Structure 1
Amino acid sequence: MPIRLSRRLLLAACGALGLAAGLSAAAVPLRAEAPIRIGTFLAVTGPASFLGDPELKTLQMYVEKINADGGVLGRPLQLVHYDTGGDPNKAVTFVKRLIDQDQVDVIIGGTSSGESLAVMPLMERAEMPFISFAGSKKIVEPVQKWTFKTPHTDTMACEKIFEDMKARGFTRIAMISGTDGFGASMQAECKGVAGTHGIEILADETYGPKDTDMTAQLTKIRNTAGVQAVLNPGFGQGPAIVTKNYRQLQITAPLYQSHGVASKQFIELAGAAAEGVRLPAAALLVADKLPEDDPQKAVVVGYMEAYEGKHGAGSVSTFGGHAYDGLMLITDAMTRAGTTDRAAVRDALEQTQGYMGTAGEVNFSADDHLGLTLAAFRMLEIKDGDWVLAE
């Protein structure tokens, strides 16, 4: 029977760092038992490093915290990490190593959609519990028995953006998308749901992950009659270049980005050109601006204060939050299962109900390995070099 974690229990477990997965906050000396091995593969270097770097820092920080508080099932956690540089082929190699040589108990990670999709067949064959930190809908639809994920899907991002566009009276738009795994997936998903939201796509341009100037594509968009707003699915440096080129061309239609750039680094890369850009993101980016009665506030403020306390003011991002949720969800499943047996952990994970994380409230089921609703997304706008809740 699914176990619902009460908010009181979650907050009691948080302590100063906001741990929200039902872990004991009491400092219990670890017995001399074999560690629980948590495997992870992340893009800590390369074009997706602004996603993977905070993910690794988050896992390291909270593994240390959990161990200081007594570990899980009385055993310490051991993080086994490989840096993929964002390369799906390296991801496959490292996941094989994690499973066959390192003999990890579970795997969490996969910074990008391309990496996660590439390794999923390995996870399913090995019957290995896996929580991805990537955005593509294809990771959880159709549901794969052993695969779960923490961020909102690209389809949800499209729908949240289209809702905001419609509310502002924009129904005729253009798209300029990255050809990376995330950008291509979100482009396809947005085109698939545009009609149901009354959105007409008048222009559809793309750019490669190594492109350094998107002026040509944006000029075509500028010259397309009737465009009322522009959407840029993508992650990495590409969206920042698009934003700068957009302003240089003096395009006046509002610009929307995706949750793939939901970090302070995007604002820093795009500079003043980012002013007025809107995007859907988790509440974490506006943690201190949430109303006091918001049910997510305690969790996101706790994580933000812990992360920025260690890594500096303004360093928090939703990507580190994806890793936080992944680690908390998997260790909570182990705690409820009372074992690290893979099948038992997978079953407990699938029964998770009422977990309040940085992405929102998670309710997994046999038919839903994401567990988030569209309400978990917040529409944000960049004003004066910072994130604010869009009005």
Structure 2
Amino acid sequence: MKHFLTAAALAMAAIPAAAEEDITIGFAIAKSGWMEAYDTPAAAAARIRIDEINANGGLLGRQIKWVEADTKTDRAQSAKAGLQLIDEGADMMIVSCDYDFGAPAALSAEAAGMNSFFLCAEDVKAGIQGVGPNSFSGSVLAAVQGATMAEWSHAERDARRGYVLLDTFIEYNKGICRGFDWMFPQLEGAEIVGRDTFKNDDASIASQITRIKSLDAEPDVIMLCSVIPGAAAAVRQIRAAGINSIILNGSAVDGSYWLNAVPDLSGFVLPVQGSIHGDDPRPEAEAFNVAFEKATGARPASSYAYPGYILMDLWAKAVERAGTLEGAAVTAELEKMDKEPTAFGVRSFSPELHHQNIAPMQIIEITDGKPAVISEWTISEPVPLDVLLSR
């Protein structure tokens, strides 16, 4: 028996150790419904970064694979998708762009002790405040976009009289206005001379336009906090009424796909994380656009693809520094990131905030129906947490 055990031990020693299993990323994203238009490009961007990491030797010496489950733009299905991906062995979960539709899956990841990243959610609840300590977002808060527009327009276009027009459809819109409301009155000589609301599906904003035209003088800027299709309808009516104020908005109206609804539009300005138009001053950003076209057959339709690439890049860096996939350890490394370089500018996280409350933004202006980068702007101070949490 002694000789048999020795022979068996020698035989076992001769068998190569099994390679560690691949790392699995779970995508709980909308493959159908209105969220698909946001989730699909950002998920494709994340997979481009996965392919790059794999081509460079993988993560922790292991290759990354991915699995996905369709949330169908449905909250209940999002929860099911999260549980399904955990059953399929996900080590980290990427969830829908919107907080409401991504949170159920992210909560499943949180309960399992793993990291989750919202593809491009811009509400502070998509993180610590709404999901838990291991949840993050790959995008820039809506309030930062509004604050950027306030400070940029004051400095670059001498805006002193601002009017706020809020589309009450989703929290994102409220976040844009929240940032503008915080920043603009702080600026020298600046005041908000009026405000109004409308609903995204309103056929007419004639009464709101009448109130703007009844002001003593036309506002220098109108902070339009809205998304398509309501934003396009509002802009068309504002210009048709002869109001020439500069119209500001957030990143959600990026892209030229809606401009046929407002022919020859000028004086419309928005902040974005990077330009899809081939004029981004950073070579890395345009290199991504080219890689995206190679992978998908078309350039990004909007800058909402970019956060998917960013989140995968940041998470992978944190994993390498932590030396493990364990959620809390990776979170600790993410929270140490302070002005961490990415292809689209620096990013930071902290134990209090898993979002960007300050970030460099490319400023896009639409002139004669053509969008183009005109400058870059980073707000002078971060948007405070109490402002982000106000409702």
Tell me what 2:234 maps to: 242
User: 2:159 matched to 1:172?
Assistant: no
CA spacing shift, 1:35–1:367, aligned 2, 3 Å: same
CA spacing shift, 1:40–1:314, aligned 2, 3 Å: closer
Correspondent of 2:358 among 343, 348, 373: 373
Tell me what 2:28 maps to: 41
CA spacing shift, 1:221–1:357, aligned 2, 3 Å: farther
How does the TM-score come out when normalised to structure 1? 0.77
Q: Which amino acid aligns with 1:184?
A: K
User: 2:113 matched to 1:127?
Assistant: yes
CA spacing shift, 1:232–1:47, aligned 2, 3 Å: farther
Correspondent of 2:142 among 136, 151, 154: 154
CA spacing shift, 1:65–1:180, aligned 2, 3 Å: same
Partner Cα distance (1:354, 1:241) in 2: 38
The answer to whether the 8 A contact 1:283-1:378 is kept is yes
Correspondent of 2:46 among 59, 84, 101: 59
Partner Cα distance (1:284, 1:34) in 2: 38
Partner Cα distance (2:59, 2:300) in 1: 28
Partner Cα distance (2:68, 2:203) in 1: 34
Q: Deviations over 1:57-87 (max 9, x none)?
A: 2233333343344322232222222343444
Partner Cα distance (1:212, 1:43) in 2: 26
Q: Deviations over 1:120-179 (max 9, x none)?
A: 544443332122221113335759421222221111112111113323223231313241
Partner Cα distance (2:233, 2:374) in 1: 24
CA spacing shift, 1:347–1:223, aligned 2, 3 Å: same
CA spacing shift, 1:186–1:90, aligned 2, 3 Å: farther
Shift of 1:280: 1.3
Tell me what 1:277 maps to: 268
Q: Secondary structure at 1:370's aligned position in 2? A: coil
Tell me what 1:108 maps to: 94
Tell me what 2:367 maps to: 383
User: 2:289 matched to 1:315?
Assistant: no
User: 2:192 matched to 1:203?
Assistant: no
Tell me what 1:230 maps to: 222
Partner Cα distance (1:201, 1:128) in 2: 47
Partner Cα distance (1:302, 1:366) in 2: 32
Q: Which amino acid aligns with 2:62?
A: R
User: 2:161 matched to 1:182?
Assistant: no
Partner Cα distance (1:123, 1:227) in 2: 50
Any stretches of 5+ residues in structure 1 without a counterpart?
1-30, 291-296
Which deviates further from its counterpart, 299-308 or 190-199?
190-199
CA spacing shift, 1:221–1:117, aligned 2, 3 Å: farther
Tell me what 2:133 maps to: 145
The answer to whether the 8 A contact 2:29-2:94 is kept is no
For the aligned residues, what is the CA RMSD? 3.0
* Pairing 1:271-350 to 2, within 5 Å after superposition: 271-272=262-263, 274-285=265-276, 288-290=279-281, 297-312=282-297, 314-315=299-300, 317-350=302-335
Tell me what 2:203 maps to: 213
Partner Cα distance (2:97, 2:255) in 1: 14
CA spacing shift, 1:95–1:264, aligned 2, 3 Å: farther
Q: Secondary structure at 2:257's aligned position in 1? A: helix
Shift of 1:107: 1.4
The answer to whether the 8 A contact 2:254-2:272 is kept is yes
The answer to whether the 8 A contact 2:163-2:195 is kept is yes
Q: Deviations over 1:162-206 (max 9, x none)?
A: 113323223231313241231233344544555434431512212
* Pairing 1:89-104 to 2, within 5 Å after superposition: 89-99=76-86, 101-104=87-90
CA spacing shift, 1:119–1:313, aligned 2, 3 Å: closer
Q: Secondary structure at 1:175's aligned position in 2? A: strand
Report how many residues are paired: 350
Q: Which amino acid aligns with 1:126?
A: A
Partner Cα distance (2:80, 2:208) in 1: 38
Shift of 1:215: 3.6
Q: Which amino acid aligns with 1:115?
A: F
Shift of 1:118: 5.2
Q: Which amino acid aligns with 1:380?
A: I
How does the TM-score come out when normalised to structure 2? 0.77
CA spacing shift, 1:363–1:189, aligned 2, 3 Å: closer
* More RCO (CA 8 Å, sep 6+): 1
Q: Secondary structure at 1:386's aligned position in 2? A: strand
Shift of 1:360: 1.8
Partner Cα distance (1:254, 1:314) in 2: 28
CA spacing shift, 1:271–1:148, aligned 2, 3 Å: same
CA spacing shift, 1:254–1:63, aligned 2, 3 Å: same
